[in-house]
Amino acid sequence: MEILSLVSTIEEAETYIQAQIEKNALESVQYLFEDIETAQKAILTYLQNNPSRENTPRQIITFPKEITMQPELVLERLKELKQWRISLQANPPIQTEISKLSKFNSIDSRFYKMIGEISQLPYENILQHLKDGFQRLDKNLQQNHIDYFRRFAFWGSLNPQNNDYQILENRSAALHDHWRDFLWLYNRLKDYRSKIVLLGMLSNWLSYDFSTLGAARESTYPDYFDLGLIQVAKDEVFVDLGVFVGDTVLDYIRTYGTGSYKRIYCYEITPATFRILQNNLREYPNIVYRMKDASNSHGVMYITANDTDVSANILAKQGNIEVQTLPIDDDISEPVTFIKMDIEGAEQKALLGCAKHIQNSHPKLALSVYHNNEDLWKIPRMVDEICPGYEFYLRYHGGNLVATETTLIALYRGNPNS
């Protein structure tokens, strides 16, 4: 029952705010006030749709915006909020169900504590924290990081001998500038498997936490096809952006069966890989091959090869191998039911190029959100702006050293404003 989760969230917020007031650290809780109001609105909407609960509160407790100058007003509002919640819980049906809930859990506590600490730190302090954490790693782990980021430069460079800490600078900026976006995403995630993925990724960024990231790894289902979340039908139109040699399509067929689709569209930019792709899928019918790049506009780009891993080839404005770019909205005319993206950091442009399909057909989305320092929060925001009504999940298939293979699964559940 969704209302129970909302009430529990408000109770935990009250506890956290009270603790911060006692520490004279009100700045760190301002982000919670909007979330409390959102939770209250959702609860009141539920109550309006359940007329038998007429004895429950109907107002919303608002908090001052300039909280640093009005701590006594925050205390007053907090007292009102607590009374509001107690009055709500006094309704017997709700009280019975709430008594079954655990008041605290370690995942929420750790995440909110981490975000609260980040929110109080200037960028320079976060950066120094990341540098100090790197220096505390043993030499082998340090070298593993250096080698990894030399091989895959999506997030920035790392060469301490040359005082190059670009990746740490980029991640410090992401944490400092977008902690509210990460908090928004955490509160939008629909299950705790997703929440521990986000906790593990940010803990890995901030504190080189390898254990939480390792615990977040999905070992039951293949990338993109979590059977607990995604089911398909025989008329499925599956669009694979960044199909590589067809391994994802083969996973799809192994997971759902040969009769699980009407058509599959495969987009791949590298000619040599494209030939392997066609050969690997030659025995399967109704496969459409496109040696094109999914983007938000029509144009021409050029392949920039990755020296160590062809799967990490990217596009640039200059090069030797020309690739046509186009929006999926213009290239596929039939309704699309499932879109997967793993295109080495070009997901944002491709998403914009799919906007009409997303708005009109509400396809299932499985989107890579790890190829830079902003996709993790920005792509969910973009989906939400393109078409409200999607629910969000995260699944992790990477290792525990560096936070990489992360998929956002977005499933349409209906327009919340309708």
Which residue, among 411, 391, 408, has the nearest Cα to 231 in the 3D structure? 411
pLDDT at 90: 67
d(C-alpha 191, C-alpha 13), whole Å: 19
pLDDT at 55: 61
Mean pLDDT (whole number) for 232-255: 95
**What residue ranges define each of the domains in the chain, with the CATH number in brackets?**
2-104 (no CATH), 237-412 (3.40.50.150)
pLDDT at 387: 95
Better-scored residue on pLDDT, 44 or 143: 143
| Residue 358 predicted with pLDDT over 50 | yes
| Residue 28 predicted with pLDDT over 70 | yes
Tens-digit pLDDT profile for residues 291-312:
999 999 998 888 766 555 444 4
Contact 190, 392 (CB under 8 A): yes
Q: Is the dihedral of CA 194, 198, 201, 203 positive or negative?
A: negative
| Residue 343 predicted with pLDDT over 60 | yes
The percentage of residues in the chain with a pLDDT greater than 70, rounded to a whole number, is 87
pLDDT at 1: 43
Mean pLDDT (whole number) for 57-76: 77
Tens-digit pLDDT profile for residues 88-105:
766 655 555 544 444 457
Better-scored residue on pLDDT, 30 or 114: 114
Model confidence at 52, in pLDDT bands (50, 70, 90)? low
- Weakest mean pLDDT among 6-15, 180-189, 331-340, 400-409: 6-15
Find all residues with CB under 8 Å of 202, minimum gap 6, and list them.
Answer: 111, 114, 175, 182
Confidence (pTM): 0.74
pLDDT at 15: 83
d(C-alpha 255, C-alpha 249), whole Å: 10
